[in-house]
């Protein structure tokens, strides 16, 4: 962590006193802290204490001529390696989730191009309120990281989740968040699709498949772990999103395509979703009923867009396009033909005749223009790590 810098936003809460200790702990580890103290925060700790501990001036006002002449608020938000909000109040979280900026802290949060780590602290009922839950969900989806809150007795006498994480826990989370920076794919943007798509027949029925999303989620995790700015466009699955990844949830193939196109340009695209090839030509507005004459309805299907092929031919084509090929027979020839047909650079081919879909292990072949490499069976996490290793080497020019 030595040599790194953190922009610490101190919100208004009784836990603000712990942020003073956090600054000391960071300083002990060679991390420079610059602080923004909100108006409410200044009711709990004084600007003088913060300034003494950071050995720097404290930034409080958005419209301060002196501050702007020394360092503009946009520059302030980007000069550090990481933005940390501790305590993160319901107010600060709600503002960022809603895109509001009416003071220095909220403006810096919106303007930053760095990762944000929040250490929430609030009354347990506030933390559990539907609106704060909505903010947390939105922020997590946007890639904001969280540490805490912890369970415990609160200053207000109630018990439950809401206590700010302890300074050393926040230091550990900062260390983790900083590690992501400086990876081999730092500065790269990666787009990953995962899971099945669901194609509605009527409001209660749909066509789908057995994809669990596990392989795609593991790839997004590994890409983010290597430092890539990672967007995971996911169909409906039952697994938790990996940390440090922006999750975009979609249902149908057409929504998945639109979400992918909205994320271009990107450097890397890994299309692991099991996109439904066809959808019912009409999705009825009302539930299709049996009408007593034992007539079975006929479902006509129409072709869905091929997201992989469209991205591979896109005017903002990612520099490396990786597709998957789920095959049940003649795996290698079918997958190699699919690579050419869809215009992908690489294809990860797997035999889905067993219980690969939903399972934790996978046996794949990596097919490029010049090679076909069969990997031994391994966990989906290991497949993901190995694939990301190849991607890294590709961009470092040590492999094709």
CB 321 to ligand CTP: min, Å? 9
Angstrom distance (rounded) from CA 105 to CA 199: 43
Task: Give 7 or 250: the residue with its C-beta nearer to ligand CTP.
Answer: 250
Catalytic residues: 156
Phi, psi of 173 (to 5 degrees): -65, -35
Nearer to ligand CTP by Cβ, of 27 and 310: the residue is 310
CA angle 209, 211, 217 (to 5 degrees): 150
> Torsion-angle region of residue 157: left (phi > 0), alpha (psi -120 to 50) or beta?
left
The phi and psi torsions of 333 (rounded to 5 degrees) equal -60, -40
The CA distance from 66 to 60, in Å, is 11
Residue with tokens 């109040």: 89
CA distance 400 to 392: 10
Count of alpha carbons within 13 Å of 274, Cβ hemisphere only? Answer: 23
Choice between 171 and 273, CB closer to ligand CTP:
273
Q: Hey, what's the torsion of the CAs at 343, 345, 346, 352, to 10 degrees?
A: -10
Question: Where on the chain is the footprint of ligand CTP (CB under 6 A)?
Answer: 193, 253, 271, 273, 275, 277, 304, 306-308, 323-326, 338
Least distance to ligand CTP, CB of residue 317, Å: 14
Taking the least distance from each CB to ligand CTP, the nearer of 182 and 305 is 305
Residue 145 or residue 325: which is nearer to ligand CTP going by CB? 325
Assign 83 to helix, strand or coil. Answer: strand
- Smallest gap from Cβ 315 to ligand CTP, in A, equals 18
CB of 194 to ligand CTP, least distance (A): 9
What minimum distance in Å lies between the beta carbon of 37 and ligand CTP? Answer: 48
Helical spans, DSSP H, in 329-379? 331-342
């Amino acid at each position: 962590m030595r040599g790194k810098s953190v922009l610490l936003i101190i919100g208004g809460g009784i836990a603000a006193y712990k942020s003073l200790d956090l600054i000391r702990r960071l300083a002990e580890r060679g991390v420079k802290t610059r602080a923004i103290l909100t108006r409410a925060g200044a009711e709990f700790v004084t600007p003088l204490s913060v300034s003494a501990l950071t050995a720097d001036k404290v930034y409080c006002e958005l419209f301060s001529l002196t501050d702007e002449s020394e360092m503009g608020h946009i520059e302030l938000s980007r000069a550090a390696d990481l933005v940390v909000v501790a305590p993160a109040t319901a107010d600060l979280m709600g503002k960022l989730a809603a895109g509001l900026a009416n003071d220095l802290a909220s403006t810096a949060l919106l303007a930053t191009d760095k990762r944000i780590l929040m250490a929430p602290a609030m009354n347990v009922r506030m933390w559990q309120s539907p609106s704060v839950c909505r903010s947390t969900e939105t922020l997590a989806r946007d890639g904001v990281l969280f540490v805490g809150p912890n369970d415990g007795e609160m200053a207000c006498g109630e018990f439950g989740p809401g206590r700010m994480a302890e300074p050393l826990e926040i230091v550990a989370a900062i260390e983790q968040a900083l590690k992501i920076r400086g990876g081999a794919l730092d500065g790269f943007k990666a787009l990953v699709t995962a899971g099945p798509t669901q194609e509605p027949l009527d409001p209660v029925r749909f066509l789908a498949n057995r994809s669990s999303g596990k392989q795609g989620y593991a790839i997004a995790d590994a890409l983010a772990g290597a430092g890539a700015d990672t967007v995971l466009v996911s169909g409906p699955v039952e697994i938790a999103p990996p940390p440090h990844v922006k999750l975009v949830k979609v249902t149908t193939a057409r929504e998945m395509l639109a979400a992918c196109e909205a994320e271009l340009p990107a450097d890397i695209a890994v299309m692991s979703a099991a996109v439904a090839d066809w959808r019912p030509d009409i999705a009825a507005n009302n539930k299709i009923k049996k009408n007593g004459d034992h007539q079975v309805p006929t479902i006509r299907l129409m072709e869905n867009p091929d997201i992989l092929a469209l991205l591979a031919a896109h005017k903002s084509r990612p520099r490396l396009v990786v597709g998957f090929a789920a095959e049940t027979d003649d795996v290698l020839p079918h997958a190699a033909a699919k690579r050419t047909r869809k215009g992908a650079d690489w294809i990860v081919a797997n035999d889905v005749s067993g219980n690969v879909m939903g399972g934790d292990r996978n046996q794949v072949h990596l097919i490029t223009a010049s090679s076909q490499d069969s990997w031994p069976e391994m966990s989906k996490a290991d497949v993901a790590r190995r694939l990301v290793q190849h991607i890294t080497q590709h961009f470092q020019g040590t492999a094709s």
